[in-house]
Structure formats: C-alpha cells, structure tokens
Amino acid sequence: MGHEDRHGYSGGAVAFALLAGAIIGAGAALLLAPQTGAQTRTLLREYAQKAEDEVRDRMGEVREKMKEAKTTLDSALEQGKQFLQEKKSVLTAAYEAGKEAMKKERS
C-alpha cells in the first residue's frame, strides 16, 4: 500500500501533476505571451521556481505525515505485542492450573 494523502493521491503523483501543469502552463505562456523573449524567460523562471517550491513544500508535508504514520504504527505494534504477551501469560497460567488439577485428580 502506498503512502497517500487524505484524498487518495500519492506525494509523487501530486508532484508529477504539479510539474506537468507548470510545464504546460509555461508552454502556453510562450505561445500566447505578448512580452519579449527576455520577459517570457523571466516569467518561466519564476513559474518554475514556484513549482519547485510547491513540490518541496508538498514533499515536506508528505515526509511529516509518513513520520506520524510510522509513530502510530510503532505504537500499535507495541500495544499488540503487549496484548499478546498478556494473553500468553493468561493461557500459560490456565494451562498450568489445568495440568495441576489433572495431577491432583489422578492422585
């Protein structure tokens, strides 16, 4: 199971979609721009920087969520181990008590 946000999209898919959108937008800007080439290149650099910043921010959020998920999973695993150990102790005690009762009954 992949790491997905609350909407079901993985961080990689979001990053790819963001970059693809930035590239498509940049292409459209080049074709439709009334500015000079220098102005257009400046705009493209700004768009690319914004896209990169957004991807970095999003990946930081994904990393944080992964850390939280790991902490939650580790806690759940530890609780599961404790639960199993407690039940094992109860079953062992019941088995031993049954064994003792059988010995007494046979004697």
- Say yes or no to pLDDT of 93 above 80: yes
Q: CA 103 to CA 65: how far, in whole Å?
A: 57
pTM reported for the whole predicted model: 0.47
pLDDT digits (tens, 9 = 90+) for 3-56: 554 556 677 787 788 778 878 877 776 777 677 778 878 877 888 898 888 888
Distances (CA, A) of 38 to 3, 30, 34, 45: 41, 11, 12, 11
Show Cβ contacts of residue 35 under 8 Å, excluding neighbours closer than 6 positions. Answer: 43
Q: How many residues does the chain have?
A: 107
